[in-house]
Structure 1
Amino acid sequence: MDRYSQILQELIKNTGIEGASLVSADGLPISSVLKPGMEEDRIAAMSAAILSLGERVAEELAKGALEQITIKGSDGYVILTGVGTDAVMVVLADNNAKLGLLLMEIKKAQEKLKQLF
């Protein structure tokens, strides 16, 4: 298991989330810890597209540099957080997730991942 996977696995262990993935800014998977049946390539491509659009919205509406995108669906959350300028961490959580705790743990994982880049 590479160091990226270890950090993602630790995040999952600390929060009970469904999965996490580290994706390059151009939509390529770097490392993932996902449930069986979740497609790493598909998550990576969609995440890069969402990130690109989010960056444009933040810029056009003068909200500064994009830090995070949170998507709330009827069955849970998708949270995208930038890791430096070259990658994004994607976190998948169900409705039972404690969002405050989750965001705190995401921040810790983000800092660890930034040190590896």
Structure 2
Amino acid sequence: MSAPQNNDPRASKMRALLRGLHTALAEVEASAVVSRDGITMASLLDASSDKDRFGAMCASLLALADRAGKEVDRGRLRQVILDGSKGPMLLTQAGDHAVLAVAADPKANLGRMILETRKVAVELAKLLDETA
């Protein structure tokens, strides 16, 4: 699957979904839609963040977590939770083609964050599947 370009309607729809997530969860500080091969397709990241490096790292983390899960027979990977001193980061599968990466403030309600990111990931998967 090729990454959408800035003028591609898919990229615009993905950014709209990310903006909706930021609105629904005020604690969300950064988010991105990343292809399985590490291409950042849409993002709302701080200007100091390198979206290409971030995308590559997220794809690597997801691949490693997927392999570790298979090693202990956990089935299809749905989500990876990283807990840092400055807040959690979730990597949520968005269908077969992408992952939703979300970083939040340490005060974020993790349960609500999991629910909301899974909803957005389902919408992203639908969007990517209909245009694949």
Measure the CA separation in 1 of the matches of 2:35 and 2:66. Answer: 15
TM-score, structure 1 normalization: 0.96
Paired positions, count: 117
4+ residue segments displaced more than 6 Å: none
Q: Please report the RMSD computed on the Cα atoms of aligned residues, expressed in angstroms.
A: 1.0
Match of 2:100 among 81, 84, 89: 89
1:12 and 2:35 aligned = no
**Counterpart amino acid of 2:119?**
K
CA distance in 2, matches of 1:79, 1:55: 14
Q: Which amino acid aligns with 2:69?
A: A
What per-residue deviation string (whole Å, max 9, x for no partner) do you get for residues 55-98 of structure 1? 10011111111110000011111100011111111001110111
One-letter identity of the residue aligned with 2:85: S
> Would you say the 8 A contact 2:95–2:122 is kept in 1?
no
Give the equivalent residue in structure 2 for 1:41.
52
Answer yes or no: is 1:25 the counterpart of 2:27. no
Match of 2:61 among 47, 50, 72: 50
Letter in 2 for 1:35: D
Give the Cα–Cα distance (whole angstroms) in 1 for the partners of residues 92 and 50 of structure 2.
Answer: 19
**CA–CA distance in 2 between the matches of 1:13 and 1:36?**
19
Partner of 2:101, secondary structure, is strand
Q: What is aligned with 1:114?
A: 125
Identity %: 33
TM-score w.r.t. the length of structure 2 is: 0.85
Q: Structure 1 stretches of 5 or more lacking a match?
A: none
Quick one: which amino acid aligns to residue 21 of structure 1? A
Amino acid of the structure 2 residue aligned with 1:79: L
> SS at 1:2's partner residue?
helix
